[in-house]
Amino acid sequence: MSTPASSETSLFQPFPLGDITLANRIVMAPLTRSRADKGNVPGELVVEYYAQRASVGLIITEATQVSSTAQGYPSTPGLHTAEQVAGWKKVTEAVHAKGSKIFVQLWHTGRMSHTAYQPGEQAPVAPSAIAAKAKTFVAGQGMVDTSVPRALETSEIPGIVNDFRTASRNAIEAGFDGVEIHGAHGYLLDAFLRDGSNQRGDIYGGSIENRARFLLEVMAAVTAEIGAGKVGIRLSPVSPVNDSNESHPQPLFEYVVRELEKLHPVYIHVVEGHTGGPRDNAPFDYEALHKLYSGVWMVNNGYTKSMAQEAIDSGKGDLVAFGRDIISNPDLVRRLREDAPMNPLFSDTSLYGGQGPHGYTDYPALAD
Ligand code: 8OZ
């Protein structure tokens, strides 16, 4: 056990992550902000936004689509065209110049998408043809129901595994230190895990082993492609966001983590409770899950400085990801270190909306 004086600083001390060393244990959580330019290319404003926040040990970017069919929201960036790779390269250079590290979060939105985002206005793809009782935003229409998806053919799954593989290779080309696979929040890989959204009769449905197969195939492909030391994964065992339902989350996620232990990604990132909401919305034994993994454990959801400190000192987590606070406090690390007051939380209208700097890059840092 550390003394109070040393525990005061442990959050701010360097931490080794695979081949890299993070300047501190504070992580910028992945946050969708919908500011990409035409072609879903991150532009100069996105460069500035991440550079402003580059005092954290690690930045995890907003969710970034692995293909054009993976998109489900407006102006989210991709990592599947040469222009997108070039755009991200400017982001990684700016972040590295400030001494931080950066992983890109890779996703396929699955049934959370809408025909408006799909090539040829096709139905989005999902484990089963069951619509999520959830909404997405479509320009000109506002918040609308997600579309009824079509069930993927078994033969189509290797193609999507390959999209993740290719995007991870593109990530390295763009200068990222690694990738985080989005295995949370009801998007495609998480929807395969859960019995509320996966009612398939093939080798990707039914038993826990079958429902976890797709996510584990993606992890095997991506770790083989760029090295397990450059791959993390995010899971949200009991978060109900995006109509995520599972009857037995404890054995499901224990199986997933046991299998991940074999592939050994560089970290597992767990959203505890209801994302952005109560941490105790449903019973779940996170300690039992953590015990199954010998690698780096990242915790997230509603952490304050004292909670983060306690998590690290007690061994509950190695790294702590902060979401909401870092939107309105670009200098979050300094504010935490100095116990300085935080700026007011972001306003809802500028969270995803707007093209410009308002509510994005115009939050003031503390004066020197
Ligand atoms: C909020 C709005 C759109 C997407 C997630 C990527 O929940 C998201 C997301 C959050 O992981």
Q: Which of 308, 360, 350, 301 lies closest to 330 in space, CA to CA? A: 360
Per residue in 210-240, pLDDT (tens digit) is 999 999 999 999 999 999 999 999 999 999 9
Confidence band (pLDDT; 50, 70, 90) for 194? very high
pLDDT tens digits for range 125-173: 999 999 999 998 998 888 999 999 999 999 999 999 999 999 999 999 9
Residues 6+ apart with CB under 8 A from 127: 110, 151, 152, 191, 192, 197, 198, 199, 200, 204, 205
Categorize the per-residue pLDDT at 67 as very low, low, confident or very high, splitting at 50, 70 and 90.
very high
Is 187 catalytic? The answer is yes
How many other β-carbons are positioned within 10 Å of the β-carbon of residue 75?
Answer: 20
Q: Please enumerate in sequence order all residues whose Cβ is within 8 A of that of 321, keeping only pairs 6 or more positions apart, or say none.
A: 27, 28, 29, 60, 269, 298, 299, 300, 303
Q: What per-residue confidence (pLDDT) applies to 5?
A: 43
pLDDT in tens, 26-38: 999 999 999 999 9
Q: Residue 367 has what pLDDT?
A: 94
pTM for the model stands at: 0.97
CA 26/CA 11 separation, integer angstroms: 7
31 C-beta closer than 6 A to ligand 1? no
Q: Whole-number mean pLDDT of the chain?
A: 96
CA 211–ligand 1 middle distance (angstroms): 22
Helices (H) and strands (E) in the chain, counts: 12, 14
How confident is the model at residue 332, as a pLDDT? 98
CA dihedral 71, 72, 76, 80 (to 10 degrees): 0
Give me the pLDDT at residue 352, please: 85
261-280 mean pLDDT: 98
Query: Whose CA is closest to atom 2 on ligand 1?
Result: 32
> From the CA of 180, how far away is ligand 1's center (Å)?
14
Each residue's pLDDT tens digit, 174-190: 999 999 999 999 999 99
* Long-range contacts, 246-249 (Cβ 8 Å, 24+): 246/193, 246/194, 246/195, 246/196, 247/195, 247/196, 248/195, 249/282, 249/284
Q: What are the pLDDT digits (tens) for 5-17?
A: 444 589 999 999 9
pLDDT at 242 over 90: yes
Q: Which run of H or E residues covers position 134?
A: none
Residue nearest to atom 1 of ligand 1 (CA): 32
pLDDT score of 250 = 98
Q: Is any atom of ligand 1 closer than 6 Å to the C-beta of 73? A: yes
Residue 271, pLDDT > 60, answer: yes
Q: What pLDDT band is residue 346 in, cutting at 50, 70 and 90?
A: confident
What are the start-end ranges of the E strands in the chain?
Answer: 15-17, 20-22, 26-28, 58-65, 101-107, 125-126, 135-138, 142-145, 150-151, 178-182, 231-235, 267-271, 296-300, 319-322
| CA gap 166, 33 in Å, rounded | 24
Rounded to the nearest angstrom, the distance between the alpha carbon of 114 and the centre of ligand 1 is 14
pLDDT band of 356, cuts 50, 70, 90: confident
Q: Which residues contact 305 (CB under 8 A, 6 or more apart)?
A: 11, 336, 339
Residue 354 is predicted with a pLDDT of 66
64 within ligand 1 shell (Cβ under 6 A): no
| Average pLDDT for 64-81 | 97
Centre a 10 Å sphere on the Cβ of residue 115 and count the other Cβ atoms it contains.
15
Q: Using a 6 Å cutoff on CB, does residue 63 contact ligand 1?
A: yes
Count, residues in the chain: 368
268 - beta bridge partners? 233, 297
Task: Say if residues 41 and 352 touch (Cβ distance below 8 Å).
Answer: no
In contact, 320 and 27? CB cutoff 8 Å = yes
Neighbouring residues of 148: CB distance < 8 A, sequence distance ≥ 6: 123, 129, 131
Position 293 pLDDT exceeds 60: yes
Q: What is the pLDDT of residues 85-125, one digit of tens each?
A: 999 999 999 999 999 999 999 999 999 999 999 999 999 99
State the average pLDDT over residues 353-366.
89
Q: Within its chain, how far is the Cα of 82 from the centroid?
A: 22
- CA gyration radius, the chain: 19
Distance CA 300, CA 180 (A): 14
Tell me which of 50, 73, 187, 204 is the catalytic residue.
187
Cα(362)–Cα(368) distance, integer angstroms: 17
Residues 304-325: tens digit of each pLDDT: 999 999 999 999 999 999 999 9
Q: Is 32 in the pocket of ligand 1 (CB under 6 A)?
A: yes
- Look at residue 4 and tell me whether its pLDDT is greater than 70: no
pLDDT in tens, 203-214: 999 999 999 999
Distance 73 CA to ligand 1 centre (A): 9
Residue 348 has pLDDT above 90, yes or no: no
